[in-house]
Amino acid sequence: MLGRLAKGCAEHLQTLRTLRGVPGSSWPAAARGLTTPSASERPPASGTETHFNREPLNFDNAPPGPALSAVPALPRFLGLAGAIPFIALSPPIAAALPLLPADLVANAGMLQVGYGASILSFLGGIHWAMAMAEYGGPAQSAAAATERYLWSVTPCLMAWPAVSLEPGPASLVIAGTLGIAYGVDRAFASKGLLPPWYMTLRLPLTLAAVIGMSLTLVASVREAEAAVPNQAPAPLPADGPKEMQLAAQPRGGG
């Protein structure tokens, strides 16, 4: 037993000498720079396992977050295409686009609000599906099941009243709900309850949607300001109101 212990200590000592770059190491010089040697450069494996982590800790080379190119092709295409109506149906944009029917341009604001409400219903439904599929693991998914199911129906309930409002206030409701939905999705994603690429796709789509709804809000405010009459009040008749005529008449009795 003492012999095996001595052999293990000797192998550990050899490993330390290798990592420190002590001359006489059997590894090549590149291994002395605390880099991980290739399989062909490593010394023959012995019967005793060592537990030293030879991979250097370099936080400067940490892998970056997923880029938009990391999003699967079909969801990326459908998501980017789905952001187009938010911009195209904004009244000032719709009026500038050629070949659009006049009826569509006249009702672009309400069409945009209805589309936004349907997208919010879709964003909530994703959490219902993730809860049913137990995405994130059975234990963690079960712990968050109540939150997932309750939130899955919340965006559509928040957006539903907006379809009965004028485009201006309705666009404000839709834009605000989109922002809230993005924040909730980030919270779920931080717990591993959404795919890593999902939030990468959500950010540009949410920005495009909020910008489109904001354009509708600004256009509605300007339209309301233009509708306020700036004319001076109409002058009174030359003889004045009837009450003034009666007051001006001399009273009897004297």
Task: List, for residues 127-153, the tens digit of each pLDDT value.
Answer: 999 999 999 999 999 999 999 999 999
Residue 249: the pLDDT is 59
Lowest mean pLDDT among 63-67, 175-179, 194-198: 63-67
Structure tokens at 245: 């005529």
> Is residue 221 predicted with pLDDT exceeding 80?
yes
> Is residue 112 predicted with pLDDT exceeding 80?
yes
Predicted TM-score (pTM) of this structure: 0.64
203 located within any domain = yes
Lowest mean pLDDT among 168-177, 209-218, 224-233: 224-233
What's the mean pLDDT when you consider all of the chain? 78
Residue 29: the pLDDT is 44
20 located within any domain = no
136 located within any domain = yes
Supply the range of the domain harboring residue 122. Answer: 91-227
> Is residue 227 predicted with pLDDT exceeding 90?
no
162 located within any domain = yes
Tell me the C-alpha distance between 86 and 216, whole Å: 10
176 located within any domain = yes
Residue 56: the pLDDT is 43
- Residue 243: phi, psi to the nearest 5? -65, -40
205 located within any domain = yes
CA 50, distance to chain mean position in Å, is 45
Residue 230: the pLDDT is 61
Lowest mean pLDDT among 8-12, 27-31, 148-152, 245-249: 27-31
The count of domains in the chain is 1
pLDDT grade, residue 121 (50/70/90)?
very high
Q: Average pLDDT in the 75-89 region?
A: 96
Q: Average pLDDT in the 42-53 region?
A: 47
Residues whose CB falls within 8 Å of the CB of residue 24, separated by 6 or more in sequence, listed in order: 17
195 located within any domain = yes
17 located within any domain = no
Residue 63: the pLDDT is 41
